[in-house]
Amino acid sequence: MLNVTTENKTGADCTGNDGAASRVLTLSNTGLTQQNGLLVYASGLALTLTTDYTITHSSTGSTITFVNKLWNDMAIIVKYYQQRTTTNVYDIMRDDIQGIITEHGTEATLIRQTETTDSVGGVTAVSEEEYAIYTMIQDITKKDRQIHEMGLAIPGNSKAFFFHEYLDEITGNGTISVEVGDMLKDTDAKYWRVEQIIAERKGDAQEIFRVGIIKKIDLSV
């Protein structure tokens, strides 16, 4: 599973001399760091990969090289995801699929609405909670026989792969699993609704990941 880590450093924690270029910062990760979701700041400014820094991802001690001059008193913040070391076979399987979703998928915002009802069942209020997640969205193909048999291969529908659950360190708003009725907002600000969870892939009753059918919706209407 993926853990998020934030490290607060200064230029003094890097190799090289005060004010020199190409200084190197070694991270304290104990799992393989991921490029997706990596954020690097120096003196409050977000740095750009290749232009401002390069990184070598390793299972332990990933290294960031700052391309430009770096002074000892400059504050450095690095936020990154790393795979948690585990010997549990189910966690290893989850790590594998989550790594694929993180690397080849996209970030999205899961929006869950909760209705408040009165004593006779009338809706009195609707609240929304938002959660940061990763997902991988694909078109429905002829090979997706189960989807076709269920009558879900209709225009506007796609399939999406999800973690079996997203921990607070990813969502920033508590642990959550994707459910029918949830909405997704992708990086293009397009909205989708989860129409159905068609599979909860399991190994000996241990859920590994979820596959859902999502439908594109237009909230501007």
> pLDDT tens-digit profile of 155-188?
889 999 999 999 988 998 999 999 999 999 998 9
Mind listing the pLDDT tens digit for each residue in 3-57? 788 999 999 999 999 999 999 999 999 888 988 889 999 999 999 999 999 999 9
Residue 20: the pLDDT is 97
Q: For a pLDDT cut of 70, what percent of the chain falls above it?
A: 95
Locate the DSSP E strands across the chain: 2-10, 23-26, 33-42, 45-46, 53-56, 63-66, 75-83, 106-117, 123-138, 157-163, 183-185, 191-203, 206-217
Question: What pLDDT was estimated at residue 206?
Answer: 83
pLDDT of residue 123: 74
**Residue 219 has what pLDDT?**
63
pLDDT of 220 reads: 56
Residue found under tokens 């990763």: 134
Average pLDDT score over residue span 183-199: 92
The domain defined by 102-217 folds into Thrombin, subunit H (2.40.10)
Give me the residue spans of the domains in the chain: 2-85, 102-217
Residue 37 pLDDT: 84
162 - beta bridge partners? 135, 210
Residue 213 pLDDT > 70: yes
Give the span between the Cα atoms of 200 and 110, in whole angstroms: 18
Which token pair is 94?
């989850």
Task: Tell me the chain's radius of gyration from C-alpha atoms.
Answer: 21
Task: Give the range with max mean pLDDT: 65-74, 82-91, 136-145.
Answer: 65-74
Paired residues of 136 in beta bridges: 161
Question: What's the pLDDT at 221?
Answer: 44
User: Does pLDDT of 87 surpass 70?
Assistant: no
